[in-house]
Every structure is written in C-alpha cells, then in structure tokens.
C-alpha cells in the first residue's frame, strides 16, 4: 500500500533549523519504498493569516489562501510535524494552523511530532501538542516522537553524511513507525460514522 506523507514545518523563520530537519526527514521518507509521495508544507512560506470567522463562512479571501493547503492535507495519509520551542511553547503560527485544520483534512490520520531546540529544551512543545490542538480536527499523534536538543549540532552531523548517528537511526525508525500507522489507518477512514457532524467537535 503506497503512502503519501506531508512534513509540516512549524517555524516562522526563513532558513530555520526546523526547516533543515524537515528537509532531512522529507529526504529520508522519499527513500522508503512504501512512500508514494512526500512534500513539505513550510508555514513560514505560506504566511497563513490568523483565524477569523470569515474562515467558517468560506469567504473568497480565505478560499484562495486555504484551498491549496486543504487539498494537500486531504491527499496526505500521515504527517510529520516539526516544531521549534519558542519560550517553552509551540510557535503561534503552528497553533493557528491547527485551529484552521478540519477533520476532513487531517482527521483520523497519524502524526509524528518532532521538536527542536538549540539548547537543552524542547520537551514542552511535545506536551503542548499532545494536550491541545487536536480536539476538533481529530489529528492522531502517534505514541512515538522525536526530541532534538542542540539541534544545530545534530544538523551538522546528519547533513555531513553521518547516517549512523543516534538521531539519524532514531528518525528513520520513527518514520517506519509512522508509515505503519498510516497504512493501518487508511482503511479505517472509510467508516462514515467517524465523520458524523453530530459529533464533529471533541469532548
């Protein structure tokens, strides 16, 4: 079963460490025979506005901004969400993105969280994403995650071709876990009751 993966880079910064990690992960995914296609959704490039009620009303303004993103998300079978830690939190751009996402786009699809920190931090965004941001869109974070401390040192290792490092091996293993979830959950989404509008909001 072929799988389509979307790697979401949640940093607001151009040429960020998060984007370097996202690009590395995208390239690793592309090497797996089970992957049909893998693309990066760079939230810094997209410049998505803050949510407002016009989004619910499908105004032309929001339609032009969100429709290409929505189509990309709907086509994906699984996601890898790369987030930096800013002040112990997930960047506001990523939280805004999750507020805009709907079950028809990312619902009941697996997501691998990857958190990056230039120091010894980085754990808080993992806890934050597992606590909030999934309730109404019904994204499913898998139990495994990647926590990269001193990310610039790790980037230097993996981009220099050292594929036998701990993080290179661990990331590759986590990708395989995500792909297993993606393949297993694809048939499940054929059950129409999962998208019953009566219960479209999480409790």
> What's the per-residue H, E or C state across 136-202?
CCCCEEEEEEEEECCHHHHHHHHHCCCCCCHHHHHHHHHHHHHHHHHHHHHHHCCCHHHHCHHHCCC
pLDDT of residue 154: 85
At 25, the pLDDT band (50, 70, 90 cuts) reads very high
Residue pLDDT, tens place only, 113-128:
999 988 887 789 999 9
pTM of the model: 0.94
Q: How many CB atoms lie within 10 A of CB 1?
A: 11
- What's the sign of the alpha-carbon dihedral 125, 127, 133, 139? positive
Whether 158 shows a pLDDT value over 80: the answer reads: no
User: Regarding predicted confidence, which is higher, 27 or 200?
Assistant: 27
Mean pLDDT of 85-110: 95
pLDDT of residue 165: 80
Q: Which helix (H) or strand (E) holds 74?
A: helix 60-75
Output the CA torsion 38→3→102→99 (10° steps). Answer: -40
Angstrom distance (rounded) from CA 26 to CA 46? 18
- Look up tokens 């499913």; give the residue: 140
pLDDT of residue 157: 81
Distances in Å between the Cα of 189 and the Cα atoms of 22, 119, 198 are 27, 39, 17
Residue partners of 99: CB distance under 8 A and separation at least 6: 51, 133
Whether 163 shows a pLDDT value over 70: the answer reads: no
Whether 1 shows a pLDDT value over 80: the answer reads: no
Whether 162 shows a pLDDT value over 80: the answer reads: no
- For the chain, the average pLDDT equals 92
At 46, the pLDDT band (50, 70, 90 cuts) reads very high
Mean pLDDT of 64-84: 97
């Amino acid at each position: 079963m072929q799988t389509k993966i979307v790697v979401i880079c949640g940093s607001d910064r151009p040429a960020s460490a998060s984007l370097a990690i996202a690009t590395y992960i995208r390239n690793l995914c592309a090497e797996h025979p089970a992957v049909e296609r893998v693309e990066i959704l760079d939230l810094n490039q997209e410049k998505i506005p803050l949510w407002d009620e016009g989004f619910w009303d499908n105004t032309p303004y929001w339609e032009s901004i969100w429709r290409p993103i929505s189509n990309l998300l709907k086509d994906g079978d699984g996601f890898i969400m790369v987030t930096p830690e800013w002040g112990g939190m997930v960047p506001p751009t990523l939280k805004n993105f999750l507020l805009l996402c709907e079950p028809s786009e990312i619902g009941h699809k697996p997501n691998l969280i990857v958190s990056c920190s230039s120091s010894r931090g980085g754990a808080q965004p993992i806890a934050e994403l597992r606590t909030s941001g999934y309730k109404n869109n019904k994204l499913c974070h898998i139990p495994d995650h990647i926590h990269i401390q001193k990310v610039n040192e790790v980037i230097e290792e993996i981009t220099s071709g050292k594929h036998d490092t701990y993080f290179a091996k661990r990331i590759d293993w986590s990708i395989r876990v995500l792909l297993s979830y993606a393949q297993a959950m694809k048939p499940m989404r054929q059950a129409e009751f999962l998208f019953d509008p009566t219960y479209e909001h999480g409790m």
